[in-house]
Structure 1
Amino acid sequence: MHEPIVKMTRLLTGLAMSISLGACTTVEDAPKGEAAYEVIPPAPAVGMDYRIAADDVLRVQVYHEPGLSLEDAQVTAAGMIRMPLIGEVPVAGLSASEASDVIAGKLGERYLVSPQVTIFVKKAVGRRITVDGEVREPGLFPVEGRLGLLQAVALAKGPTRLASLKQVMVVRQTDGVRAAAMFDLSAIRKGKAPDPEILPGDMVLVGLSRAKAILGGGLLALPAIGAGFVALDGGR
């Protein structure tokens, strides 16, 4: 699909979701079936760069400047790291490459000529998901690479015998807006429905009654995630 067509598809989908999902106010109203994949889509063809998060631990290397380099720079709750000479630098929400450019730019303003900065994420605390509800071992789990809903539930040792597999909620927050969608895990297991991609920061809730308890029965504004949706390949 050509890039202009993809962009138009995303725009139209986002507008449609703003209309169709804007009135969604309760957990029971969460989109289901094909509509759920407009909120939490299947894995895209191209992966996304990791974005630095609070509490991540970074290695910052300034070429030929060991005194300015840091081995274990922890990102503060405010999303900053403290660098020699230039003080606090906001890095949360940036990729390692973008953060490197920001630090290099600040060092180059007053202290160094054409500084070369490299950042490596040593500990990606932000790459975690929550799995709760009717699962055997609910909790926080690290995300390494791509992760689907089936794998996410498996991290929690699978659903309990009381779990309602047709009522598995995925909650995602993007730019301060929470979005949620309901999936049928049994259909995904049988290959009758796509397996949605679970991203760092997502919450997976197995069983509607538990989802209602955690979310208080309310479902906040939804349209944000749908703006990035591209039509499913082959009508999956």
Structure 2
Amino acid sequence: MKRGNSINRSIAALIACGLLGACATVEDAPRGEAAYAAIPPPPAIGMDYRIAPDDVLRIQVYHEPGLSLEDAQVTAAGMIRMPLIGDVSVAGLTAGEAGDVIAGRLGERYLVSPQVTLFVKQAVGRRVTLDGEVREPGLYPVEGRLTLLQAIALAKGPTRLAGLNQVVVVRQLDGQRQAALFDLAAIRKGRAPDPEILPGDMVIVGLSRAKAIVGGALLAVPALATGFIALDGNR
């Protein structure tokens, strides 16, 4: 009889979560196949990188070496300082978009049809956060493509007592943080795919550490409807 009451209470709780949409926790993050649906690969390998603070840029103004810059570092405010035109906001833009903005500013008063080419020399903004039960938590740069196993290796691997079947990946999608749970032990043995980790992702080894770091309730309705968990803190 007690078991039946327990099952009924569990069912009632699930229904309440679905209706209220605010009582799920990080333990409810999707796992298995649902986790891979929640943290998909990028839509295109060659997707343009968007400039971030601390990135280092090379800016070439055609036939104007005095206006060109070899190592222009983006400030914390997302600006670069150009000769003649002063501060230009470039954070969040692609290299092509930033070059067009600079050309437009130069063309307003100083040059006729200026041609500006911009390259990202150091993409400092391409970083992932490794936290939880890893040997060396911290921020790590992403160069090229990176998988979950490779990301954890950057932090010198999990600790001896780490919960390998409880690895949480947090990602910003459509303006909202999403979380999914992966089994590192299964990935290591080849029983599960090794998901791709993107710049800006947070990887947390250990469910208890993830709950402490992420904090806050997770929305239940998106989880039931689409297979992912939305973190309530960014609503």
> Would you say same fold, with TM above 0.5?
yes
**Relative to structure 2, which stretch is displaced further, 154-163 or 209-218?**
209-218
1:68 aligns with: 67
**Distance in 1 between residues matched to 2:83 and 2:41, nearest whole Å:** 43
Identity %: 82
2:97 aligns with: 98
- Tell me if 1:137 matches 2:155: no
- Tell me if 1:163 matches 2:162: yes
AA in 2 matched with 1:132? D
2:39 aligns with: 40
Q: 1:43-75 deviations in whole A, cap 9, x for unaligned?
A: 656332221101112121111112211222221
User: What stretches of structure 1 of length at least 5 have no aligned partner?
Assistant: 1-18, 228-236
**Distance in 1 between residues matched to 2:220 and 2:202, nearest whole Å:** 16
- Offset of 1:161 from its aligned partner? 1.9
Q: Is the 8 A contact 1:42 1:195 kept in 2?
A: no
Q: Is the 8 A contact 1:53 1:124 kept in 2?
A: yes
SS of match in other structure, 1:122:
strand
Q: Is the 8 A contact 2:22 2:217 kept in 1?
A: no
**Relative to structure 2, which stretch is displaced further, 143-152 or 40-49?**
40-49
Q: Is the 8 A contact 1:130 1:201 kept in 2?
A: yes
Root-mean-square deviation (CA), in Å?
2.7
Q: Structure 1 residues 175, 58: CA separation in 2 closer, same or farther (over 3 Å shift)?
A: farther
**Distance in 2 between residues matched to 1:222 and 1:67, nearest whole Å:** 57
TM-score by length of 2: 0.78
**Distance in 2 between residues matched to 1:173 and 1:28, nearest whole Å:** 19
Q: Is the 8 A contact 2:79 2:87 kept in 1?
A: yes
1:183 aligns with: 182
SS of match in other structure, 1:150:
helix
AA in 1 matched with 2:200? G
**Distance in 1 between residues matched to 2:175 and 2:86, nearest whole Å:** 27
SS of match in other structure, 1:53:
coil
SS of match in other structure, 2:105:
helix
User: What stretches of structure 2 of length at least 5 have no aligned partner?
Assistant: 1-17, 227-235
Larger-gyration structure (1/2) = 2
**Distance in 1 between residues matched to 2:41 and 2:192, nearest whole Å:** 10
**Distance in 1 between residues matched to 2:74 and 2:93, nearest whole Å:** 12
AA in 1 matched with 2:155? A
- Offset of 1:217 from its aligned partner? 5.0
SS of match in other structure, 2:178:
strand
Aligned residue pairs total 206
- Tell me if 1:50 matches 2:39: no
**Relative to structure 2, which stretch is displaced further, 34-43 or 121-130?**
34-43
**Distance in 2 between residues matched to 1:44 and 1:175, nearest whole Å:** 13
- Offset of 1:85 from its aligned partner? 2.4
AA in 2 matched with 1:98? E
- Offset of 1:119 from its aligned partner? 1.4
**Distance in 2 between residues matched to 1:51 and 1:24, nearest whole Å:** 35
1:6 aligns with: none
- Offset of 1:190 from its aligned partner? 2.2
Equivalent residues in 2 for 1:107-146 (5 A)? Answer: 107-146=106-145
AA in 1 matched with 2:34? A
Equivalent residues in 2 for 1:206-225 (5 A)? Answer: 206-219=205-218
Q: 1:19-51 deviations in whole A, cap 9, x for unaligned?
A: 9xx657421121212221222114656332221
Q: Is the 8 A contact 2:22 2:218 kept in 1?
A: no
**Distance in 1 between residues matched to 2:221 and 2:106, nearest whole Å:** 41
Q: Structure 1 residues 148, 30: CA separation in 2 closer, same or farther (over 3 Å shift)?
A: same
**Distance in 2 between residues matched to 1:221 and 1:119, nearest whole Å:** 44
AA in 1 matched with 2:168? M
TM-score by length of 1: 0.77
Q: 1:101-139 deviations in whole A, cap 9, x for unaligned?
A: 221122223321221111122222101111111112212
Q: 1:165-204 deviations in whole A, cap 9, x for unaligned?
A: 1110011224642111111112222222222111111110
SS of match in other structure, 1:71:
strand
